[in-house]
Amino acid sequence: MNRITQCMHGRGTVSGVMRHRHKQQGDVPSNFLAFSGMYRPVVFWNITDRCNLSCTHCYNKSGPDRSTAGELTTTEAMGVIDDLADMGVPLILFSGGEPLMREDIWDLALHAGSRGLKMALSTNGTLITREVAGRIKECGIEYAGISLDGARAETHDRFRNLPGAFEQTIAAFAACREAGLRCGVRNTLTKENCHELEEIVDLAISLGASRFCLYWLVPAGRGIDSYSRLQLDKTEVTDALSLLYKKAKETDPATMEFLTVDAPQDCIHLLASMEKDRSEDLADARKLLESLKGGCSAGTRVANIDAQGNIFPCQFARSPEFLVGNIRSQSFSELWNDSQNPVLARFREKQAQFKGRCRTCSHRDLCGGGCRVRAHAAEGDFYAQDPFCFFEEP
Ligand code: SF4
Ligand code: SF4
């Protein structure tokens, strides 16, 4: 995750991370928990595979036809919540499929809230009426990340494979705002919508979104089939990063925070832009990025649980070779803290074995070697260079 706004406007954050790094769980504020000693990840939890939409790029291959067979039962899900609460994870993010299609979402959220867990929701927004927004807020979910892939109905609806989805999504932002629920935009940028990026950002601001989170396409799920057709090239990526930098500079950080996801190498562009601007926050930004030891949090500060209880290092690292284990045979906390787990060990100690450009790159410690899912998909080799990196050594 590339924290554009935090780096550009976030003086003081580095010292916060450092100060809380080695403290006991109870002494660490929740926003710093992911950075403290033991691995306490933000957990992206796909609670169901079902979705009312069937989007072109869905990493989970979700859709209306997906079966619920084998999904965790309510009792099993409650057990996962207890385990995550005991472990002190900083945040659970309920995702899917469409998480609002799981009938017991309210019970799960109420239970997680009663155990002191912070919660967010990742949703396509089309099921969020005023009543649903109120319910989300009442059960303790603090934030809804809503997918918005176009500034116009035809672009968004084509992605989402549902005419009318755009209008429903726009209405969802209004419903959240009315309910006092903080919400943000999740945008997947591809060849089909990159020309609309500025309009999408402006639309997000006008909708009252407090976050703009840009996802690059990752070859996972249905994203594999459309990857070569939709993935952006060097110029398109550079233009998008420059535009987000400009928007983050113009926008009050208290109004909207800008982030990019799934390409840790984006931080090189960010630091170069700040250097060009002679930003007084440059040194702090560099220190923050260095303290995170590479932007990819998979297997350390981020974890994924799928609908069947399988655990993966992140929500996009879903191929069989990335399976950490299943909560039906061992608890999440045991698996996550097992230093012998071969999948986690590979993600946590990957840098020594990088190949290609990532092996010799001068930014390796800062970027952490890009995205291992892309490297693996392109070359069948976990340690290969990330093909989505356009950085060139001078
Ligand atoms: S492996 Fe790739 S998709 Fe997963 S967290 Fe790291 S950068 Fe993101
Ligand atoms: S070559 Fe690899 S290590 Fe260097 S910036 Fe690109 S992804 Fe990161």
Ligand 2 touching residue 386 (CB < 6 A)? yes
* Per-residue pLDDT, 25: 57
Ligand 1 cavity residues, CB under 6 Å: 218, 262, 264, 296-298, 302, 314, 316-317, 371-373
Residues in the chain, pLDDT under 50: 12
The answer, yes or no, to whether any atom of ligand 2 lies below 6 A from the CB of 374, is no
| Res 102: pLDDT | 96
Please indicate, yes or no, whether the overall pTM of this predicted structure exceeds 0.75: yes
Residue 14: predicted pLDDT: 54
Return the pLDDT at 393: 77
How many angstroms is it from 365 CA to the middle of ligand 2? 9
pLDDT given at position 195: 97
Atom 7 (ligand 2) nearest CA: 370
Query: What pLDDT, on the 0 to 100 scale, is given for residue 377?
Result: 95
Report pLDDT digits (tens) over 168-209.
999 999 999 999 999 999 999 999 999 999 999 999 999 999
Which pLDDT does position 331 carry in this prediction?
A: 97
Query: Could you give the CA distance from residue 148 to residue 125 in angstroms, rounded to a whole number?
Result: 9
- Say how many Å lie between the CA of residue 316 and the centre of ligand 1: 7
Buried-exposed string 98-108: b where 16+ CB fall within 10 A, e elsewhere: bbbbbeebeeb
Contact 388, 261 (CB under 8 A): no
* Nearest alpha-carbon partner for 49 in 99, 94, 92: 99
Cα(81) to ligand 2 centroid in Å equals: 36
Q: Which long-range contacts (CB under 8 A, 24 or more apart) does 195-204 make?
A: 196/150, 196/151, 196/152, 196/155, 197/240, 197/243, 197/244, 198/243, 198/247, 199/151, 199/152, 200/148, 200/149, 200/150, 200/151, 201/243, 201/244, 201/247, 202/151, 203/148, 203/151, 204/148, 204/256
Cα–Cα distance between 57 and 255 in angstroms, integer? Answer: 29
* 367 within ligand 2 shell (Cβ under 6 A): yes
Is residue 47 within 8 A of residue 63, CB to CB? The reply is: no
pLDDT of residue 385: 96
Interacting residues of 119 by C-beta distance below 8 A, sequence separation 6+? 91, 92, 93, 94, 109, 112, 113, 140, 141, 142
Q: What is the pLDDT of residue 16?
A: 59
- What are φ and ψ of residue 188, in 5° steps? -95, 120
Which ligand is nearest to the Cα of residue 315, counting in written order?
1
Residue with tokens 């710093």: 32
